[in-house]
Amino acid sequence: MTIVSADPSIVEAVAADDLVASLLLVHGLHPHPVERRITDALDRVRPYLGSHGGDVDLLEVDGPVVRLRFRGSCKSCPSSAATLELAIEDAVKNAAPEVSAIEVVPDGDARQLIPAQALLNRVHTNGHRPATWHPVPAVDDLMPAEVGGFAVAGTSVLVCRIDDELFGYRDRCPVCTSGMAGATLTGAVLTCPHCGSGFDAVHAGRAQDDGSDQHLEPVPVLRRDGVPSMAIAQEAVT
């Protein structure tokens, strides 16, 4: 069965609705082929990837295998690389549940085959367990230039809204190790209320001090099924 409409705008509206699209996928009725679904999903997370200095290209879809090329990332920030891969994994899995493996081709590296459900295994060695997405609808209440603190799955996080984009970080200043409750946002700079250190909220929380390699720890904030959600990776037990 195929969905047909004389008005292409109706088809696009149906495909753009997360809840309707998920139902269509379950019943095999989605109007777009898998390549289009994955491309559209990656386009939706591309601004978030760009804020971390990264990007991704869809090379091809070969049956149940998707081939992607990762470009860039915050080289000095392993947690930023993890957030990029988490965002990409989530986008692909939700847009194309029939995908069983993702072949990743990083810039300058040999390709490697990674099962879709374990795309992040190679970054879990940074001391984190696999992340889980949690709906946090309250972040939608943040006004532009506003900062808010939230408890998500037992983890304290800080979220700020810059224009129409949401950016999330763990509630910990890497310089003084204090919580960031009471942090101020000036432009794109989050300032610790305790030590006065500034961090670029748009670009992976990098410290404003040119000589510092400190950074806030990013927490992905993406809209899933129409609801703002955050991916929390619990600290591994050693």
- CATH code of the domain made up of 132-233: 2.102.10.10
| Band of pLDDT at residue 204, cut at 50, 70 and 90 | confident
pLDDT value at 74 more than 80: no
Compare 61 and 25 and report the one with higher pLDDT: 61
User: The domain 32-128 belongs to what CATH superfamily?
Assistant: Fe-S cluster assembly (FSCA) (3.30.300.130)
What are the sequence ranges of the domains in the chain? 32-128, 132-233
Same-fold call for 32-128 versus 132-233: no
User: What would the mean pLDDT of 56-64 be, rounded to a whole number?
Assistant: 87
Cα separation, 205 vs 189, whole angstroms:
9
- Tokens representing 191 are 């300032």
Lowest mean pLDDT among 26-40, 83-97, 144-158, 175-189: 26-40
Task: Tell me whether strands 165-170 and 155-162 are parallel, antiparallel or unpaired.
Answer: antiparallel
pLDDT for residue 212: 73
| Band of pLDDT at residue 238, cut at 50, 70 and 90 | very low
φ/ψ of 9, rounded to 5, equals: -65, -30
Sheet of 54-62, strand order: 54-62, 65-72, 101-104, 112-115
pLDDT value at 91 more than 60: yes
- Tokens representing 212 are 């510092």
Range picked from 35-39, 72-76, 124-128, 220-224 for highest mean pLDDT: 35-39
pLDDT value at 125 more than 50: no
pLDDT for residue 85: 75
pLDDT for residue 73: 56
User: What would the mean pLDDT of 121-148 be, rounded to a whole number?
Assistant: 75
Please check whether residue 161 is in contact with residue 142, taking contact to mean a CB–CB distance below 8 angstroms.
Answer: yes
- pLDDT tens-digit map of 136-195: 999 999 999 999 999 999 999 999 999 888 999 999 999 999 999 999 999 999 999 999
pLDDT for residue 199: 94
Single pTM value for the model: 0.64
pLDDT for residue 120: 41
Burial class of residue 1 (count of CB atoms within 10 Å of its CB; 0-12, 13-18, 19+): exposed
